[in-house]
Structure 1
């Protein structure tokens, strides 16, 4: 689940279970996540592409990014996944305890979502989390905190390159606004979130945006999403009911209204 990030005292370890296919969604990921797919499949899409994880796969999801997700249960079964949220407070304490520091990430390094090797260490750790209901009972807060620390130390041992990701506590720096928006316009998040991820205040984001795109962010986002929807429907043969969420609209009726206003025809008749 990507619903919230939590410190070790509450919901640091979350268990997801669905019988039917859940509605696809999207979320801003505020904390690093170490995850394991127990059953079914999970597809996560960031600005760089799609990543699908099947039963038995381990994954790492980097903080401060936008992600679309789709959860698919196995035939006749349930979707099940475990997620361990690696909160900043815990990581800062580990950094102080062990002297870990992040080096500047290399240009063109690994993306924010990656598959991890199914090492014996990871498998043993997941096995220790099986009594999920017991871990969530009141009075086990210290045990949960220890499990989160254990997850961090295991990640560092099995994937030492993650040190520069885990112990980078800086807020997003100012980046190329045009490239970022062209890559992430499909995500339906508030403008203040786009501003934060591009290293700007909301006021600076709006000012820089209008200089680059000669349009307000809201107007540009709607038009760019409609262009993408038009292409997917007309050229790729996709249905409006499949497209509107994928391009960043919340509501099908609003999408249809805006589409017809722009192109003079309802998307269902294109």
Structure 2
């Protein structure tokens, strides 16, 4: 399982010992991550990213993705993550003069090796040896240090970090066709499309003439069938990326829908 040594809620160390840890994720806050060991795949609607030892990435808030963490070379997956809460960012930027207007880049950002980032994450590692929680004042300083370092090496990051808006209303059909494979509650889909749950259900039925739950199952099963037949994947390889929580639920739903088990395709 994903074990976190949280010495402060916004600065955490993740460690995964098992073969593969898979989950759907949506970051509530912009999060800066550095890989310590192992490997992580992040699958978004338009791209798959692979992060290894030493890689540093910035995941924007409300980024819907699948995350697969795995040990490698005999070592567990381990990383350090620093979350930049909206409240802290507002306080930080309230003190910044003459901030240039930037269009926010809401895609996952990767950073090449940089002395400032390397020394920053190295300074965080000893905190996870503490038996007590990291004091608030120190955590505040380290989080602000991280923001300052990002600003010094990425002149466009202000556009992302100062975007405090909530998701606006987007085209429902376009969004769902791109993101149906993410196993998220309908309430989360409604939020990310800029709708209340009632409006989401109403707009969905108007567009598809079927309930969101039934449509999602059908689309995920169709994707799974394609991966099994065209890509010669095994059921254990497709259930998660198709949006199912576990193999048994996937196999049951697949057989109920198609009339035969997924193992019969190959």
TM-score for both structures, normalised by structure 2:
0.92
Cα distance in 1 between the residues matched to 2:17 and 2:2: 18
Choose which of 182, 196, 200 in structure 1 pairs with 2:195.
Answer: 200
Does the CA-based 8 Å contact 2:102-2:158 persist in structure 1? no
Cα distance in 2 between the residues matched to 1:236 and 1:47: 19
Does the CA-based 8 Å contact 2:106-2:160 persist in structure 1? no
* Residues 95-125 of structure 1 deviation map (CA, whole Å, 9 limit, x = unaligned): 211147684637xxx4521211221111111
RMSD: 2.3
Residue 234 (structure 1) aligns with: 229
Does the CA-based 8 Å contact 1:102-1:168 persist in structure 2? no
Cα distance in 2 between the residues matched to 1:36 and 1:165: 19
Cα distance in 2 between the residues matched to 1:233 and 1:193: 29
The gaps in structure 2 that reach 5 residues or longer are none
Aligned ranges 1:59-78 → 2 under 5 Å: 59-78=57-76
Aligned ranges 1:48-127 → 2 under 5 Å: 48-99=46-97, 103=101, 105=103, 110-127=105-122
The alpha carbon displacement at 1:180 in A equals 0.9
Residue 181 (structure 2) aligns with: 186
The alpha carbon displacement at 1:41 in A equals 1.5
Task: Determine helix, strand or coil for the equivalent of 1:52.
Answer: strand
Q: Which moved further from structure 2: 171-180 or 243-252?
A: 243-252
Q: Does 1:45 align with 2:43?
A: yes
Cα distance in 1 between the residues matched to 2:128 and 2:78: 14
Cα distance in 2 between the residues matched to 1:39 and 1:88: 29
Cα distance in 2 between the residues matched to 1:104 and 1:176: 24
Cα distance in 2 between the residues matched to 1:64 and 1:158: 23
What is the aligned residue count? 264
Q: Does 1:132 align with 2:130?
A: no
Does the CA-based 8 Å contact 1:102-1:165 persist in structure 2? no
TM-score for both structures, normalised by structure 1:
0.90
Task: Determine helix, strand or coil for the equivalent of 1:238.
Answer: coil
Cα distance in 2 between the residues matched to 1:70 and 1:48: 16
Cα distance in 1 between the residues matched to 2:140 and 2:131: 12
Residue 258 (structure 2) aligns with: 263
Cα distance in 2 between the residues matched to 1:257 and 1:227: 14
Task: Determine helix, strand or coil for the equivalent of 2:21.
Answer: coil
Does the CA-based 8 Å contact 1:100-1:163 persist in structure 2? no
The alpha carbon displacement at 1:132 in A equals 2.4
Choose which of 203, 213, 216 in structure 1 pairs with 2:211.
Answer: 216
* Residues 204-255 of structure 1 deviation map (CA, whole Å, 9 limit, x = unaligned): 1111111112211111100000100111111111111221111111132222
Cα distance in 1 between the residues matched to 2:130 and 2:145: 15
Q: Does 1:147 align with 2:142?
A: yes
Q: Which runs of 4+ in 1 moved over 3 A?
A: 1-4, 99-104
Cα distance in 1 between the residues matched to 2:38 and 2:3: 19
Closer, same or farther in 2 for the Cα pair 1:2/1:40, shift >3 Å? closer
Closer, same or farther in 2 for the Cα pair 1:153/1:114, shift >3 Å? same
* Residues 121-142 of structure 1 deviation map (CA, whole Å, 9 limit, x = unaligned): 1111112112022567246221
The gaps in structure 1 that reach 5 residues or longer are none
